[in-house]
A and B are shown apart, each in its own frame.
Chain A
Amino acid sequence: MTTSEPAGRPRIFLVEDHAVFRAGVRAELGDAVELVGEADEAAAAVELISERLPDVVLLDVHLPGGGGHAVLRGVLPHHPEVQFLALSVSDAPEDVIDVIRAGARGYITKTVSGAELLQAVYRVAAGDAVFSPRLAGFVLDSFAQVGGPAPGLDPELDQLSPREREVLRLIARGYTYKEVGRDLGISAKTVESHVSSVLRKLQLSTRHELTRWATDRRLV
């Protein structure tokens, strides 16, 4: 994976309701980051994050008191500079898409290694998006359901470009950004900009298909 280490140690805030997992993350990140606080439920998290303004918030998708997206909706309107990285053990796509749409800059599963977690934290701290293969799959799946843009909606936001689709597919296949770039003959930076653009579409798209897709998946 490409490493873009920021100048100083990123300031991290951890929102997670399992004490055991919090301890695990603390141990794995170690001295590479500065841990500025922890919270185990949504309301306290919003308050503390707004007060301490960390670089990156590691956010559990499932939280008592409203879930991860409640934290995002509480913090982002006032402090858009705070970056969020979603963490989850849950495989439910609608929950993951939900926090991404609420403004998280990436999603990784809780089973990642310490090194991968650190990579993701650095990347999010640098303002980049972190697409795990699983998230890439969810996004492809959510955009694949439509034959064409629904009438009355912005086609720019409702569809992925062929290039974006290619990039997501390679990420879903387990390629790193660097490997994706090599495979497509583009730079890792261009890959990153495609991914960010997908993230933007996902967050801005108002098409009802996304909702319908999530509902369909819930029923499956």
Chain B
Amino acid sequence: MWVRIGFVLLAIASGVMVLVYALAWLLIPMEGSNENIYSRVVCDRRGIRTVAGILIPLMIAVQFITSSLHVPFVGFLGWPTFLALGVVILIWRNADEPEKAFIDNDLVPLLGADTQDGKGRRWLIARVVVGLLIGAGGIALLVEGHTTVAALKPIGGAALVIAASVVIFGPWWLSLVRDLITERQARALAEERAQMAAHVHDSVLQTLALIQRASDDPQQVVRLARAQERELRAWLFEDRLPGTIGEEATMLAEGVGLLQRQVEADHGIAVQLVMVGDCPLDDALRALLDAAREATVNAAKWSGEDQVSLYAEVEVDTVMLYVRDRGRGFDPDAVPEDRQGIAHSIRARVARFGGSAVVRSAPGEGAEVQLCMPRRERVK
């Protein structure tokens, strides 16, 4: 009696594990594909039709035979058996290559077909024999259960059948789970390596190649190295992939960082950025950023220096932005026509949204553009 209960518990425990594992296998997609076996099976209309066309008539025939032989439990077991058979066929049809290899490697040894060494074979035979004995005992009890009134007997029989399958398949299930875990780990590691390699290739190796090609132009080399440094830093410390901040900058700090990177890459000047506070970008602040970019590019073109300072601070009701260089400077009252045009475009840009721009400079003293934009949305 206790032995039976033990068997039932054991069967339930391992049975549930196996079920969970099987479901996971069916429902979790393979690495690199976005559909799982289950969804492929459901979509495989032709396969379903074929399988149904073969199995349903076959099953009806079996039902007929069994009912005429008066062994109803075989008919009763027939339904699930055929259903399972159909599903297995469908899974096989829809499994892709790695999954087929998996089935090959793990299901075939189950049948003992490729167990070469004697010890393994003896162990397998012993397992199957014990399993079959317990299974036979179980079936005997089941058959008996139909003719007697003892309610416990069919249950005990079922437990024996399940125990039989545990004895036969248990070690295999265990090794399967173990293999799966190690395989998962290996795959995660490989994936991370691949991602890293892809990034290093796209950014670092490309830049190194460009630097080799431009080795006779020191300025170009410095520019490339600087742009690459920015990008790597953003990737390592700010967790940003290169090129992902793009047009969709939604915060001021993001936008200013983008401005910095673009000017550094396009104009070969170091932009030293200091940012205090942050706030969401709106049209007014985008205009402020455009003006700041204009001012930074001006500094790159005219100052004669290789560095420009960019400072942005978010205050309660304004955003201040300063672009400063230590270059040759100029007299703001006596600038040539074309440069006045540029200063004008800076001023007009921010004025449209109620902001202001002041240019401070004197010959030999560098230049500073001070930009100020009132905030619409205040911090709460």
Chain A residues in contact with chain B, CB under 8 A?
89-92, 111, 133-134, 136-137, 140-141, 144, 169, 172-175
Contacts and interface: CB of A to CB of B under 8 A. Distances in A.
A137 B237 contact: no
A103 to B, nearest CB: 23
B27 interface: no
Contact of A133 (B309, B313, B326): B309
Interface in B214-265: 229, 233, 237-238
A90 B274 contact: no
Contacts of A89: 233
Contact of B274 (A92, A111, A137, A144): A137
Given A90-B237, A91-B233, A91-B238, A137 B324 contact: no
Contacts of B229: 111
B272 A174 contact: yes
Interface in B267-288: 270, 272, 274-277
A175 B325 CA distance: 10
A174 B366 CA distance: 11
A86 B201 CA distance: 32
Contact of B311 (A90, A92, A144, A173): A173
Contacts of A134: 272, 274
Contacts of A137: 274-276, 311
Contacts of B233: 89, 91
B322 interface: yes
A123 B209 CA distance: 40
A173 B275 contact: no
Contacts of B238: 91
A173 B237 contact: no
Nearest to B315: A144
Given A89-B233, A173-B368, A133 B277 contact: no
23 contacts: A91-B237, A91-B238, A111-B270, A133-B309, A133-B311, A134-B272, A137-B274, A137-B275, A137-B276, A140-B313, A141-B275, A141-B276, A141-B277, A169-B311, A172-B274, A172-B311, A172-B313, A173-B274, A173-B322, A173-B368, A174-B309, A174-B324, A175-B324
A89 B275 CA distance: 17
B276 A172 contact: yes
Given A172-B311, A174-B311, 14 more contacts: A89-B233, A91-B238, A133-B274, A137-B275, A137-B276, A137-B311, A140-B276, A141-B276, A141-B277, A144-B277, A172-B274, A173-B311, A173-B368, A174-B272
Nearest to B308: A174
Contacts of B326: 174
Contacts of A91: 233, 237-238
Contacts of A172: 274, 276, 311, 313
A136 B309 CA distance: 13
Interface in B293-317: 309, 311, 313
